[in-house]
Amino acid sequence: MTAVDRAAPRGAAAGRGRVGRSVHDSLVVAQRNLIRMIRIPEVVVFGLVQPIMFVVLFSYVFGGSIAVGGSTEPSLYREFLMAGIFAQTVTFATAGAGAGIADDMHKGLIDRFRSLPMARGAVLTGRTLADLVQTALTLVVLAIVAAIVGWRIHEGVPKALAGFALLLLLGYAFSWIGALIGLSVRTPEAATSGGLIWLFPLTFISNAFVPADNMPTVLRVIAEWNPFSATVQAARELFGNLPPGYPVPAAWPMQHPMWASLIWSALIILVFRWLAVRKYRSATR
């Protein structure tokens, strides 16, 4: 809280424009959440356990059973799988974002923030930025684990970094959904449940773990237009992880996955940031 108290020094806000003050306040709130994260490292550690388990289980349990590109070679499936695991990891951070905001509301911290001379959207923006940093650290660790089990990039470092940037953008977009959920429920437990229950069908009705062309027609269409699938497909192309002979669906998001990923993420941010800030203003009156 001391970091937030320092966010409003005497007369400091007066010397900044509206945008500059909003950016400054958001960064201060982000710093507060990052400090809290450092002081409670088990949150980060436990957040790494699930994706690592998914990597190991899917790689070695299903690796020789699922055909990609007409082959059941385990090494091909491991490379095909990793973009899906990365995307699942960044989107599952939504639950943590919602739970954190719900916890702040439950403890009355949001009321304290509101009493300070700070930009109204800064509390949520700072929280989502801190979650983005945590997600980036998680991706670094997860990429190391993936390399150990056989994942490789084949299109060079710049394209691989672009793939990770798209993944982080998707995670940031989904964190705004988590923020809205956290503001809409009464307890952190409800925010965690509400943040996960819709993510399971979103991630599994996609091309993350199996090729979408194996699905029934209705599910295949949903998977091909799923924003999650677009980012997974874009990451696979940028990592060079599409197996030889892998059929690319004719749907526009699958033919132009990078553009589709950017458009979907931008739309989610615009819509859910507006809804979350609006909810924040009404919920704290």
- What pLDDT does 13 receive? 44
- What pLDDT does 265 receive? 96
- What pLDDT does 136 receive? 92
Q: pLDDT at residue 36 above 60?
A: yes
Q: List phi, psi (to 5°) of 233.
A: -65, -45
- What pLDDT does 238 receive? 95
Which is more confidently placed, 198 or 59?
198
Specify the 3-state DSSP secondary structure of 121: coil
Q: pLDDT at residue 196 above 70?
A: yes
Q: pLDDT at residue 100 above 50?
A: yes
Amino acid identity of 209? F
- pLDDT cut 70: percent of the chain above it: 88
Is 4 in contact with 116 (CB distance < 8 Å)?
yes
Give me 205's structure tokens: 């009705």
- Kindly give, in sequence order, each residue whose CB lies less than 8 Å from that of residue 100, ignoring residues fewer than 6 positions away: 33, 127, 131, 182, 188
Which is more confidently placed, 45 or 182?
182
In this prediction the pTM is 0.85
Least confident of 79-83, 210-214, 265-269: 210-214
- What pLDDT does 141 receive? 87
Q: pLDDT at residue 61 above 90?
A: no
Q: pLDDT at residue 46 above 70?
A: yes
Q: How far apart are CA 4 and CA 25, in angstroms?
A: 8
Q: pLDDT at residue 271 above 90?
A: yes
Specify the 3-state DSSP secondary structure of 71: strand
Distance of CA 54 to the CA centre of its chain: 16
> What is the average per-residue pLDDT within 142-148?
89
| Averaged pLDDT of the chain | 83
For residue 44, how many other CB atoms are within 10 A of its CB?
A: 15
Distances (CA, A) of 277 to 16, 178, 255, 284: 21, 12, 34, 11
Q: List phi, psi (to 5°) of 155.
A: -115, 15
Instruction: Give the residue from 137, 96, 122, 104 showing the smallest Cα distance to 28.
Output: 122
> What is the average per-residue pLDDT within 66-95?
81
Q: pLDDT at residue 98 above 90?
A: no
Q: How far apart are CA 199 and CA 283, in angstroms?
A: 25
Tell me which range, 34-43, 110-119, 164-173, is most confidently predicted by mean pLDDT.
164-173
Q: How far apart are CA 168 and CA 158, in angstroms?
A: 15
Is 216 in contact with 210 (CB distance < 8 Å)?
no
Instruction: Give the residue from 258, 210, 205, 239 showing the smallest Cα distance to 77.
Output: 210
Q: What is the largest CA-CA distance in the chain?
A: 67
- What pLDDT does 222 receive? 94
Q: pLDDT at residue 131 above 60?
A: yes
Q: Where are the domains of the chain?
A: 2-283
Q: pLDDT at residue 5 above 50?
A: no
Q: pLDDT at residue 201 above 80?
A: yes
Q: pLDDT at residue 11 above 50?
A: no
